Amino acid sequence: MSFSISRLSLCIVLSLSPLFVSDATADGVSPYLPMKISPVLENEVERLASIAGIPNLTKPYSLATIYHYMVKIRVSHPSLYSRLNASLKPYERHFGLTQLSVTARVSDDHHAMPNARGVYTDTNLSMSFRGQWQMTDWLAVYVGGNFTRYEDDALEEVYQTSGTILSMGVDWAQLDIGYKDIWLSPFQGSAQLLSTNAQTMPSISLSNNLPIEFLGVRWNYHVFLAQMSRQDVRFNNALSDADKPLLAGLHLSIQPTDWWSLGASRVFQFGGGERSVGLGSLVRAFIDPRGADNAGSDLSTDEESGNQMASVVSKINFDGSIPFTFALELAGEDTSNNKDYQLGNSAVTAGLYFPFFLSDNISVTYEYSDWQNAWYKNHLYTRGYVNEDFVAGHWAMQVQRDEDINKASAGSSHFIKTQWQRNNDHIISAIVRMSEHEDAGSITFEDAWELQLDYVIPWRTRIVTFGVYVGEDSLGESFSQVSLSVER
């Protein structure tokens, strides 16, 4: 049975629109801040999230949430409050452009850039933009796009509609239809279940744009259904790419105290090819993951529902002379020991974030990930957990999904980021990524590393960034890139 997201989205809009109209007096929809596009603004927001105790364990952050928590730092951190207030002004418009950036790059190497929506280093020009039209409190259109140009033997241009969303609803239930970025992790450097490493998928999602206060606890939820790119899918002893696989997701988190947030996420890759799609099989897979996907010899390949991943995550904000945030995530792909409550093929990520490290001008982040084998590989889906051949989760496992490799080995990664804001408001940013993978069959992996240095200069109402990006990948291939970016 074929499936159409556009058809389903129309049914949902028609069925839920009376609810939205009747509650139009409540606070309405909110735009989202762009992800992995405006590094300076994102770092300021992460500072706010740490010191003000924003409960969200996923991203992007809504503008409503940012404004709600900015009040807490107005007196304690006036400089940060002032910078955020100025940067967010464009998002207050009912109609207009909120973000625009153009980047020119020089590189002769073909290396997948982490968390860059499926972009390689040898792009010579890219542009991103975001705009919005807030028609009423409960209805808005957000338009966005990412344009990338490559020039090898032949000119290639790629355009993505990331950030283009039709939103309707209220602050406790915002329905988003379109190309919404989804980052299922509180970490800055990686997301095991879903990130911006691959191109943004078309999706339907329902979530709250402001924390819900209930029983003295703050709640956040996010439910979505997305469509992945075409790939060969196994069914009835044959491979087919007739239909594209789908991705369903569920996230729920609570903040029982001002300093602690706890949450859980599930994602489910299903359908595609000739495999049938039904609500019953989707519900069964979520309720009984062992019985639906991991019953071993008791379950035939055709009876399996798909590929599942889940995680539990905790984030604690510590106050003091040197405030910091500690986050820990345990994730698994499918189940283990034939038990529903045990995660298989575990992956652990831990991170420390210092919004003000020994100075109000310096921030430091360190994140470590470790995973077992079999991640993002599944016997039903020949290309695995990918969208347009890019891993939909952790950037460090992109090399394993290379068409000539297609392996899934255990490994680990490190992410270090520091940003220094000088007295003249110039910013020096440095990111170090390192990863290692166990050898897989005849494939020998090298220890990989990369360094990204950016020098940011405010210029009138614009931000000019000079960047250098160098490293060596897991196959021993070196790469380098020089870039110049202008953002307004």
Closest CA to 210 of 219, 198, 201, 223: 219
Residue 177: pLDDT band (50, 70, 90) is very high
Lowest pLDDT segment from 28-37, 273-282, 327-336, 386-395: 273-282
User: What is the rounded distance in angstroms from the CA atom of residue 170 to the CA atom of residue 136?
Assistant: 11
Instruction: Phi first, then psi: give them for residue 358, nearest 5 degrees.
Output: 65, 0
pLDDT digits (tens, 9 = 90+) for 286-322: 676 655 555 444 456 777 878 999 999 999 999 988 9
Q: Is the model more confident about 327 or about 307?
A: 327
Q: What is the pLDDT of residue 406?
A: 83
Q: Is the model more confident about 370 or about 12?
A: 370
How deeply is 451 buried, as exposed, middle or buried, from its count of CB atoms within 10 A (0-12, 13-18, 19+)?
middle
Q: What is the pLDDT of residue 290?
A: 57
Instruction: Phi first, then psi: give them for residue 414, nearest 5 degrees.
Output: -125, 145
Q: Is the model more confident about 248 or about 108?
A: 248
Report the DSSP beta bridge partners of residue 99.
130
User: What is the rounded distance in angstroms from the CA atom of residue 217 to the CA atom of residue 55?
Assistant: 10
Q: What is the pLDDT of residue 21?
A: 34
Return the percentage of the chain with pLDDT > 70, whole number. 88
Residue 47: pLDDT band (50, 70, 90) is very high
pLDDT digits (tens, 9 = 90+) for 419-440: 999 987 899 999 999 999 998 8
**481 touches 468 (CB < 8 A):** yes
The arithmetic mean of pLDDT across residues 128-142, rounded, is 96
Q: What is the pLDDT of residue 151?
A: 72
Token pair listed for 428: 């020096």
Residue 3: pLDDT band (50, 70, 90) is very low
Q: What is the pLDDT of residue 341?
A: 53
Q: What is the pLDDT of residue 335?
A: 57
User: What is the rounded distance in angstroms from the CA atom of residue 389 to the CA atom of residue 409?
Assistant: 18
Residue 156: pLDDT band (50, 70, 90) is low
pLDDT digits (tens, 9 = 90+) for 199-238: 999 999 999 999 999 989 999 999 999 999 999 999 998 9
pLDDT digits (tens, 9 = 90+) for 109-133: 999 999 999 999 999 999 999 999 9
Centroid of chain to Cα 52: 22
Q: What is the pLDDT of residue 87?
A: 93
Closest CA to 323 of 357, 286, 297: 357
Residue 25: pLDDT band (50, 70, 90) is very low
SS (HEC) of the chain: CCCCHHHHHHHHHHHHHHHHHHCCCCCCCCCECCCCCCHHHHHHHHHHHHHHCCCCCCECCEHHHHHHHHHHHCCCCHHHHHHHHHHCHHHHCCEEEEEEEEEEEECCCCCECCCCCCCECCEEEEEEEEEEEEEECCEEEEEEEEEEEEECCCEEEEEECCCCEEEEEECCEEEEEECCCCECCCCCCCCCCCCCCCCCCCEEEEECCCCEEECCEEEEEEEEEEECCCCCEEECCEEECCCCCEEEEEEEEEEEECCEEEEEEEEEEECCCCCCCCHHHHHHHHHCHHHHHCCHHHCCHHHCCEEEEEEEEEEEEECCCCCEEEEEEEEEECEECCEEEEECCCEEEEEEEECCCCCCCEEEEEEEEEECCCCCCCCCECCCCEECCEECCCHHHCHHHCCCCCCCCCEEEEEEEEEEECCCCCEEEEEEEEEEECCECCECCCCEEEEEEEEEEEECCEEEEEEEEEEECCCCCEEEEEEEEEEC
- Where does residue 363 fall: left (phi above 0), alpha (psi -120 to 50 degrees), or beta otherwise? beta
* Amino acid occupying residue 106: V
20: pLDDT strictly greater than 50: no
pLDDT digits (tens, 9 = 90+) for 189-201: 999 999 999 999 9
Q: Please provide the average confidence, as pLDDT, over all residues in the chain.
A: 88
The arithmetic mean of pLDDT across residues 455-470, rounded, is 94
**258 touches 237 (CB < 8 A):** no
Q: What is the pLDDT of residue 302?
A: 73
Return the percentage of the chain with pLDDT > 90, whole number. 74
Report the DSSP beta bridge partners of residue 101.
128, 487
Centroid of chain to Cα 212: 22
User: What is the rounded distance in angstroms from the CA atom of residue 165 to the CA atom of residue 180?
Assistant: 6
163: pLDDT strictly greater than 90: yes
pLDDT digits (tens, 9 = 90+) for 248-271: 999 999 999 999 999 999 999 999
Q: What is the pLDDT of residue 452?
A: 98
Lowest pLDDT segment from 157-161, 192-196, 350-354: 157-161
User: What is the rounded distance in angstroms from the CA atom of residue 76 to the CA atom of residue 202?
Assistant: 41
Residue 152: pLDDT band (50, 70, 90) is low
Count the Cβ atoms, other than its own, within 10 Å of residue 82: 11
Q: What is the pLDDT of residue 390?
A: 95
1: pLDDT strictly greater than 50: no
Centroid of chain to Cα 48: 19
